[in-house]
A = this chain, B = another copy of it.
Amino acid sequence: MPTQPLTALKPRKTPSQSRSRVTVDAIYEATIQVLLSRGMAGLTTTGVAERAGVSVGTMYQYFPNKQSLVYALNERFLTTLAERVEATCAQMQGRSIAEAAEALVDTYWAAKTERPELTRALYRSVAELETDALLRAFAARVDKATTDMFCRASDFRSPDAGEVNLLLTTVIYGSVRNAFERGLGQEEIAGLKSGLKAMCRAYLEAVGN
């Protein structure tokens, strides 16, 4: 558990010319490609550079180390996800808790399903990285949005919104991930999704909201 001295994970330098902007984008895309084809263990700096069509030195001008590549990828993905969740929460203000929960399922599910292989690769990459701080920040941000949404729901009466929020988000996020881990067909996926919604609905009704 004694974590080593914090290695820099932030980009080293921001491109100013369009040439280097293209380069950085190519590096991002190459990182994804290598991650998908060779996995986290097969992700090497030379491999990424080669795939991106640049030299290793160029890569190291924008990323301080190998980790930062995957870190940046996760950051991008999580930020987009957070924005989408926040948008959904804003849109669902004033609706019932059940409707809000179902919308959350849809949004989260859609975001994860759009690029399934990338989602899976990132899920895995997180395990080998010092992304705890990043994940905590993301969780806090999203929790704030969803808690707020549940608080302002038309039928909200429970004294503790955080409790409802914790349960619903844990179940939803966990179920989505687990659904990914299994190799499932289309109709099974669809069944799971509607089943998950039904569970949320049934629970909320039973609880009296």
Choose one: B123, B125, B166; the contact of A191 (CB below 8 Å): B166
Smallest beta-carbon distance A174→chain B, Å = 3
Interface string of A170-184 (1 = CB under 8 A from B): 110111111101110
Smallest beta-carbon distance A159→chain B, Å = 13
Residues of chain B with a CB closer than 8 A to A136's CB? 183
Smallest beta-carbon distance A88→chain B, Å = 19
Q: How many residues of A contact B (CB 8 A)?
A: 44
Residues of chain B with a CB closer than 8 A to A139's CB? 182
Q: Of A8-16, A54-62, A195-203, which binds chain B?
A: A195-203
Smallest beta-carbon distance A181→chain B, Å = 8
Interface string of A147-172 (1 = CB under 8 A from B): 00000000000000001001100110
Whole-angstrom CA separation of A128 from B42 in the bound complex: 10
Residues of chain B with a CB closer than 8 A to A41's CB? 128
- A188 contacts the other chain (CB 8 A): yes
Residues of chain B with a CB closer than 8 A to A167's CB? 191-192, 195-196, 199
| CB nearest neighbor in B for A42 | B4
Whole-angstrom CA separation of A123 from B123 in the bound complex: 11
Choose one: B125, B191, B198; the contact of A206 (CB below 8 Å): B198
Interface residues, chain A, with chain B CB atoms under 8 Å away:
1-2, 36-37, 40-41, 123-128, 135-136, 139, 163, 166-167, 170-171, 173-179, 181-183, 188, 191-192, 195-196, 198-203, 205-207
Having A198-B206, A202-B202, one finds 14 other A-B pairs with CB under 8 Å, namely A40-B128, A166-B191, A171-B174, A171-B175, A173-B178, A174-B175, A174-B177, A177-B178, A199-B199, A199-B200, A201-B206, A202-B206, A202-B207, A203-B203
